[in-house]
Amino acid sequence: MKATIIHGARDIRLETVPDPVLQSDTDAIVRVVAACVCGSDLWPYRGIAPTKEPHRIGHEFVGIIEEVGTAVETVRVGDFVIAPFYYCDNTCINCRNGVSTSCLNGGWWGANDRDGNLVDGAQGERVRVPLADGTLVATPDVPDAALVPHLLTLADVMGTGHHAALSAGVTEGSTVAVVGDGAVGLCAILAAHRLGASRIVAMSRHADRQAIAREFGATDVVEERGDDGVAKVKELFDGIGADCVLECVGTKESMDQAIRSARPGGMVGYVGVPAGGPELPIGTLFNTNVGVRGGVASVRGYIEELLPEVLSGTLTPGRVFDLELPLADVADAYAAMDERRATKVLLRP
């Protein structure tokens, strides 16, 4: 089959690799219907996270189950399934505590499992899924093609945006500022709107992303950054800042922006994958009682909650995809996101 391999900075190749086979009786083999490129894939693509040796890449996919191991019980051959951006048993103590990203038996796409067998990356034609019962969520029927992009966001960006909003404590009537206008930032706006935020400020400089932000529920847009951006957000919220700030980038600058945009006693929900040295100013947090909560989003636990609204069409996070390419053009998909020609690229094997 064909699968994507990253060789180094700006070196993405689609190569022929062995077809995956069942390695354990809890595995499934899934034929990928759609995958995508994540903002966090750009850290190795740009060389910010160095690639020591070539490896599979991609962690978001939906597909159809082609084969299951003898111990798989909850999903079946022919099911359309959503996979979170990691695999997990969904039964261990960490999973039950809602932190399935720390699953005691789980792991990551594109790396070896605990038995030393490769787990395929998502940007390929097929994926061996360990712990299929815990990892995969099947839809009631094979969905219409038009629903596929929306369902694909449940693998990562929509669940991650939701995690930012929950971590910041967004509830009915909250005032919210969102730092970052990538797919996760836009989904965070949608999540905050869904949770009943009364006012949502999108921090964005791109007209096309501002338009999606407004469609997703943003009431205001702030284009300024740094001191000017903080001043603008404060001005919009009684001169004090927002109740909840959702940090969806992961850089030193974005974290600083987020912390300073929160009102005294407010909360920052952060989900941006840290890159470029973000740090917490304990003195500022102490003086303002601003809290920081968040981290890698345990999206597996959010899929069942969000899925009915996606299936009914009331939640349309798939609007974040503004370019669709065949898997053969995966290198161009990375370049398009790197050069900001696209917010998020959907890949069709």
Binding site for Zn ion (CB under 5 A): 88-89, 92, 95, 103
Smallest distance from the beta carbon of 103 to Zn ion, in angstroms?
3
Smallest distance from the beta carbon of 101 to Zn ion, in angstroms?
9
Q: Which is nearer to Zn ion, 21 or 71 (CB)?
A: 71
Smallest distance from the beta carbon of 40 to Zn ion, in angstroms?
22
Taking a C-beta distance cutoff of 8 angstroms, is the pair 90, 29 a contact?
Answer: no
Residues 166, 250: Cα–Cα separation, whole Å: 17
Q: Strand order of the sheet with strand 11-16?
A: 11-16, 2-8, 55-56
Q: Which is nearer to Zn ion, 89 or 247 (CB)?
A: 89
Residues 224, 84: Cα–Cα separation, whole Å: 34
Q: Which is nearer to Zn ion, 41 or 133 (CB)?
A: 133
Smallest distance from the beta carbon of 86 to Zn ion, in angstroms?
10
Q: Which is nearer to Zn ion, 59 or 300 (CB)?
A: 300
Q: For residue 14, which phi and psi values (nearest 5 degrees)?
A: -95, 120
Smallest distance from the beta carbon of 97 to Zn ion, in angstroms?
9
What's the number of CA atoms in the CB half-sphere (13 Å) around residue 83?
37
Residues 187, 319: Cα–Cα separation, whole Å: 9
Query: CB within 8 A of 227, min separation 6: which ones?
Result: none
Q: Which is nearer to Zn ion, 106 or 318 (CB)?
A: 106
